[in-house]
Amino acid sequence: MLFSSLVFLYYFLPIVLLGNILLPNRFRNTFLLISSLFFFAWSGVSYTIIFLGSILLNFMGGILIARQPASSVKRKIIFSCIAILNLSLLCVFKYGTFIIENLNLLFAEFEITEMDAPKILLPIGISFYTFHGLSYITDVYRGTTEPQRKLTDLSLYISFFPQLIAGPIVRYKDVSDQLTNRFLSPTMFNKGMYRFIIGLGKKVLIANAMAQLADNFFNMPLSELEMTSAWIGIIAYTFQIYFDFSGYSDMAIGLAQCCGFQFKENFNFPYLAESIKDFWRRWHISLSSWFKDYVYIPLGGNKNGKFKTYRNLIIVFFLTGLWHGASWNFIIWGFFHGFFIVIETIGLGKLLEKLWKPLRIMYCFIIVVLGWVLFRANTFEDAMEYYKVMFGVTEGPSFSLDALSTFINNEQLTALLIAITGSFGAMKMFNDSDLQATKTISPTAQISLDMAKLAFSICLVIVCTLYMVAGTYNPFIYFRF
Amino acid sequence: MFSKKYISFIFLLFLWAPFLVKTLNLSKSFEKKESGENRALKQFPEMGVTDVDSFPSLYEAHFNDYFILRNTFIDLFHSMRVKCFRESPLPEKVIIGKDNWLYLADEMPTYNRTARFSDEELKKIGDEFERRRLFLEQQHCLLYIYIIPPKIAVYPEYSNKTTKRLNEPTQGGQLEAYFKANSKIPVYYFLPTLLEGKKEEREHSFVFNTTDNHWNNYGAYLCYQKIMGDLTKEFPAIRQLNAEALVEKDTLEDGGNIAGMINMQTYFKENVRRIKVKHPLAHESEKSNYEPPAGFAYPWEYERQFKGSNEQAPRVLFIRDSFTDRMMSYLAEGFSHSTYIFDAWQYASHEDIVKNEKPQVMVYVMFEPFIKNVLNKSN
């Protein structure tokens, strides 16, 4: 079930929100758990068994680990087994086919009989719930958090529907208190709704329009693509992925807030970053901080000399790339970012600091945009061909403004302008805390502001609903057989 | 604090509104029933142990189809796209061109030559029609084939899409050339006739409707002249109507079928020139009640029979589609008896109908993007 679907917005969500408000506190976790499992099952009933297995594994694992004395070998072994089982689940379902396909390529070189590559369907949210489980058992193993002894509470932490399909990756220790003790006020509920609606608008109105624009160019035969089109295509994708992902994060954070939970921010204007290092402090913050805490620091971080620091950075970015998908393009994309982080650490970072701020932002933006080509292209070869067109290293037309009039329509142009202004700071106006931290306003003004926000939000939902309903319209002029 | 609670309540009420409106049946007076979708809506899916994985998506499709005020919302969305952005609400299906000219996106591949016949396909179609010709010869019946080009081929200049097209013949052109080189069957592509007619367009009259994918009465009349000109060479007794036998009337009408696809017939109005036979002598006669293909959306259109006044003229069988609608009244005047079969764009051989109707001439009037259906196994 997608957040940007009618069935979620006008069927699942109203029931869950009303139920959560009306039920006494002691029933809320169970109610939210049942709702979350229903939400998960909607995307694949059969996979619910694997999901429940994963929850049970981490629940039992947490208790077993906590029973062993700190720094005992047994504790280490149990932790390792649970971690390996979690990762095996991810490996089988997410990377199984990819691994076999690549092994087959290797076998072909040595004339070894190839294995059958099974077509495994990816269970929804597996990357997120596996990382939730891993962070929980790691924290229990480290002793930084107490194990959860109520199955419903741990299940709710792992399966809570707002963060189930697209994150953010929430740490157990960040919400463990909220699982047992939280307070839902009308102010919090309203803030959550505003946040959810802004996210919905980002996804439905901006990201989808940018997706259509990017698809125009990425679906075009590369021989017909020229430089301007290639740049417009990747710029559109740059905004598509940001508004899509940050829109989902906004919706998740907002929905959690409506249910009384506070999640940490996942994006902080990443296209305003002044270096790639800075970019990863602003983009998918929950993932980068997860890798920092559970991979980079355990590997030694930057404490063991330069070369080990570079090695650790490269490992982290290899894993970051791999986490995004089972494809060489993602792995290379990870290395690409890792490479820039390393050279910034070596000395480029110091040079960048001397530049004028807009130039630093431009440097980072261009690198990120170039990286997205690897992310969006179907194959590595396609990405290379796309780069050639972008830099005019082709025999075809190198520069033409035809693309502007032919492939960008007025709606996409409007969305693109909103995306540009939104990505570079204008969205800050929607940030409540900024507004209220700096200004104290009179109660009357506050009511007016609330009413204006309410009216804006409802208009935005109505427009999003129009788009969602229109997406179900599928006319036929001829009945085909 | 009161205002905060009030806002929360409004949010909740808003999310519950569709359910409440539907349950309390409040939408009756303002729910728009008609839709240009031309498809059956998804029914509530069956739920069994084996259907658990497919149930959610089927239910969601049903939920979406029966969403409260769906048609009203769709109309609003279409109006917003067209009026605010000047964009097609369904760009993958409908293209809005200059001066409110509408095109079907489906017809683009025929125009830009991305849809072409391979040599093997041409031979298969050629062999199939050769087989039909031999059958018809045994029935003492001649065979003619006419191909109608899509609107975009005749009026590319009103399309905003600057589509690159290959410098190759279209499917219609391919077929015409193939038959000319390999067969005795006369095959004619209407494109030159329509382009010629376009040059001589009279005031306010194009050869195609601007908001419909079909030709208008004038385009139909031009192609009627072409058909009759060809047939009178073999059958001089055929009565061919000239301009004096017709009466014209201009009316401002709601948009055609493409405007209907986006539910905007009243926005995309069109000045339509209706051309009728001044003194019709032919009349629609009793049907033989041939069985239409299963699932055909317009079964009442499958068979039409006309009795003409000229007993000396031949009997004719037309295998047609919706394009022939606008020339049927002219055609009927020319023959002693005419049968029109609309076989869901299959352009099949209909040997039983031939045996029963005993036509002296059989005419296929085929729409270019659908000629490939001749290759269907069912044919």
- Per the DSSP assignment, residues forming a β-bridge with B284 are B306
Q: Which residue has the tokens 């975009």?
A: B152
- CB contact A200 to B (< 8 Å): no
Answer whether B310's CB lies under 8 Å from B239's CB: yes
Residue B161: the pLDDT is 63
A to B CB pairs, distance under 8 Å: 139
Whether residue B28 has pLDDT greater than 80: no
Q: What is the pLDDT of residues B159-204, one digit of tens each?
A: 876 566 777 888 999 999 999 999 989 999 999 999 988 887 665 5
Whether residue B43 has pLDDT greater than 90: no
Distance, CA of A435 to CA of A191 (rounded, Å): 13
Distance, CA of B309 to CA of B232 (rounded, Å): 17
Confidence of residue A357 (pLDDT cuts 50, 70, 90): confident
Residue A444: the pLDDT is 81
Is residue A324 flagged as an active site residue? yes
Residue A477: the pLDDT is 55
Query: One of A132, A284, A324, A337 is an active-site residue; which one?
Result: A324
Answer whether A134's CB lies under 8 Å from A84's CB: no
Q: Identify which has the larger pLDDT, A349 or B252.
A: B252
Residue A399: the pLDDT is 62
Residue B41: the pLDDT is 77
Omega of the bond prior to A168 within 30 degrees of 0, cis? yes
Q: What is the pLDDT of residues B284-321, one digit of tens each?
A: 999 999 999 887 888 899 999 999 988 899 999 999 99
Average pLDDT of the segment spanning B242-251:
86
Whether residue A481 has pLDDT greater than 50: no
Average pLDDT of the segment spanning B36-40:
69
Which candidate from A18, A45, A478 shows the least CB-CB separation from B53? A45
Q: How far is A232 from chain B (nearest CA, A)?
A: 18
Whether residue A436 has pLDDT greater than 70: no
Confidence of residue A480 (pLDDT cuts 50, 70, 90): very low
Q: ipTM value of the model?
A: 0.78
Whether residue B332 has pLDDT greater than 70: yes
| Contacts with A193 from chain B: Cβ below 8 Å | 8, 11
Whether residue A66 has pLDDT greater than 60: yes
Residue whose C-alpha is closest to residue A206's, from A456, A464, A399: A464
Distance, CA of B145 to CA of B129 (rounded, Å): 9
In the sheet that holds B142-148, the strands lie side by side as B187-189, B142-148, B361-367, B315-320, B337-342, B303-307, B283-284
Distance, CA of A3 to CA of A17 (rounded, Å): 14
Average pLDDT of the segment spanning B328-335:
92
Residue B41: partners with Cβ closer than 8 Å, 6 or more residues away: B62, B65, B66
Query: Six-digit token pair at A184?
Result: 């839902």
Determine, for residues B78 and A470 on separate chains, whether the beta-carbon distance falls below 8 Å. Answer: yes
Q: Which residue has the tokens 């009565």?
A: B239
Distance, CA of B373 to CA of B378 (rounded, Å): 9
Q: What is the pLDDT of residues B196-239, one digit of tens each?
A: 888 876 655 789 999 999 999 999 999 999 999 999 999 999 98
| Contacts with A432 from chain B: Cβ below 8 Å | none
Chain centre to alpha carbon of residue B362? 21
Determine, for residues B8 and A406 on separate chains, whether the beta-carbon distance falls below 8 Å. Answer: no
Answer whether A44's CB lies under 8 Å from A121's CB: yes
Residue A428: the pLDDT is 58
Q: Identify which has the larger pLDDT, B366 or A448.
A: B366
Distance, CA of A147 to CA of A79 (rounded, Å): 13
Residue A104: the pLDDT is 87
Which candidate from B14, B78, B297 shows the least CB-CB separation from A458? B14
Q: What is the pLDDT of residues B44-61, one digit of tens each?
A: 888 777 777 888 888 888
**Phi/psi of residue A169, each to 5°?**
-80, 110
Distance, CA of B59 to CA of B51 (rounded, Å): 11
Q: Ranked by mean pLDDT, which of A92-101, A176-185, A363-372 comes out on top?
A: A363-372
- Locate all alpha helices (DSSP H) within A283-356, ordered by sequence: 285-291, 306-324, 328-343, 349-353
Q: How far is A369 from chain B (nearest CA, A)?
A: 28
Average pLDDT of the segment spanning A58-73:
91
Average pLDDT of the segment spanning A148-174:
91
Q: Is B139 exposed, middle or buried (0-12, 13-18, 19+ CB in 10 A)?
A: middle
Distance, CA of B327 to CA of B306 (rounded, Å): 13
Whether residue A435 has pLDDT greater than 70: no
Provide the pairing of β-strand B94-96 with B283-284. Answer: unpaired
Strand ranges inside A48-94, DSSP E: none
Q: Is B105 exposed, middle or buried (0-12, 13-18, 19+ CB in 10 A)?
A: middle
Chain centre to alpha carbon of residue B97? 19
Average pLDDT of the segment spanning A201-226:
89
Residue B362: the pLDDT is 96
Whether residue A432 has pLDDT greater than 90: no
Q: How far is A306 from chain B (nearest CA, A)?
A: 52
Answer whether B94's CB lies under 8 Å from B88's CB: yes
Whether residue B64 has pLDDT greater than 90: no
| Contacts with A223 from chain B: Cβ below 8 Å | none
Determine, for residues A473 and B74 on separate chains, whether the beta-carbon distance falls below 8 Å. Answer: yes
Q: What is the pLDDT of residues A16-30, one digit of tens each?
A: 999 999 999 889 999
Residue B375: the pLDDT is 87
Mean pLDDT for chain B overall = 88
Average pLDDT of the segment spanning B348-369:
95
- CB contact A444 to B (< 8 Å): no
Distance, CA of A365 to CA of A424 (rounded, Å): 11
- CB contact A440 to B (< 8 Å): no
Residue A325: the pLDDT is 86
Answer whether A141's CB lies under 8 Å from A120's CB: no
| Contacts with B74 from chain A: Cβ below 8 Å | 469-470, 473
Residue A423: partners with Cβ closer than 8 Å, 6 or more residues away: A239, A242, A243, A269, A271, A272
Residue B126: partners with Cβ closer than 8 Å, 6 or more residues away: B178, B179, B182, B183
Contacts 24+ apart (CB under 8 A), B2-9: B3/A446, B3/A447, B3/A450, B3/A451, B4/A185, B4/A186, B4/A187, B4/A190, B4/A450, B5/A186, B7/A186, B7/A190, B7/A450, B7/A454, B8/A186, B8/A189, B8/A190, B8/A193
Q: What is the pLDDT of residues A238-276, one digit of tens each?
A: 999 999 999 999 999 999 999 999 999 999 999 999 999
Query: Six-digit token pair at B159?
Result: 């399309």
Query: Six-digit token pair at A52?
Result: 């429940």
Residue B38: the pLDDT is 67
Q: Identify which has the larger pLDDT, A89 or B30.
A: A89
Mean pLDDT for chain A overall = 88
Residue B203: the pLDDT is 58
Domain ranges in chain B? 17-85, 119-376
Residue B242: the pLDDT is 86
Residue B379: the pLDDT is 53
Q: Is B23 exposed, middle or buried (0-12, 13-18, 19+ CB in 10 A)?
A: exposed
Q: Which residue has the tokens 């079964």?
A: B299
Answer whether A134's CB lies under 8 Å from A57's CB: no
Question: To the nearest whole percent, how much of chain B has pLDDT over 70?
Answer: 94
Q: Give kind and range of the element (H or E) at residue B145.
A: strand B142-148
**DSSP assignments along A82-140, one per residue:** HHHHHHHHHIIIIIHHHHHHHHHHHHHHTTPPPPP---PPPPTTHHHHHHHHHHHHHHH
Whether residue A476 has pLDDT greater than 70: no
Determine, for residues A470 and B39 on separate chains, whether the beta-carbon distance falls below 8 Å. Answer: no
Determine, for residues B60 and A5 on separate chains, whether the beta-carbon distance falls below 8 Å. Answer: yes
A205, A478, A480, best to mutate vs chain B, most B CBs in 10 Å: A478
Chain centre to alpha carbon of residue A380? 22
